Amino acid sequence: MFSLAMIGREDDTEIISKLWQSIKDHLWLCFNAIRIHKSRFKQIGEEQYKHFYETLMISKTDYDAKIAFEEELEKCYNNRFNDARSFYYKLQQKIVS
């Protein structure tokens, strides 16, 4: 909140960059927590982990990193949804047969 209130000052670009970096760091921590939660998502190897970190956090502009993060999060959500749908479909088949 404090950083947002300061927007409009001469150094607002620097403040916004620091704020966005903080947001990216928190998003990465959340994404990584989701990534390693075995009961929700399939684990990815360390090579993929490094790839995600580089593409989401290092080599992108703030806007591109945000878009890339949202795409990867969507993939995780879709994987979770598809796994759940598959589980319930198999369960339904067992009940029917």
Would you say the pTM of this structure is higher than 0.85?
Answer: no
Query: Residue 31 carries which side chain, given as an amino acid letter?
Result: F
Q: What is the total count of domains within the chain?
A: 1
Predicted confidence at residue 5, as pLDDT, reads: 47
44-86 pLDDT tens trace = 566 666 766 666 666 556 677 667 667 777 776 677 667 767 7
Tokens of 66: 């945000």
Q: Vertex 47, ends 41 and 52: CA angle to 5°?
A: 65
Query: 62 with 17: CB under 8 angstroms?
Result: yes
- Tell me how far apart the alpha carbons of residues 93 and 96 are, in angstroms, rounded to a whole number: 5
Residue 77 domain boundaries = 2-96
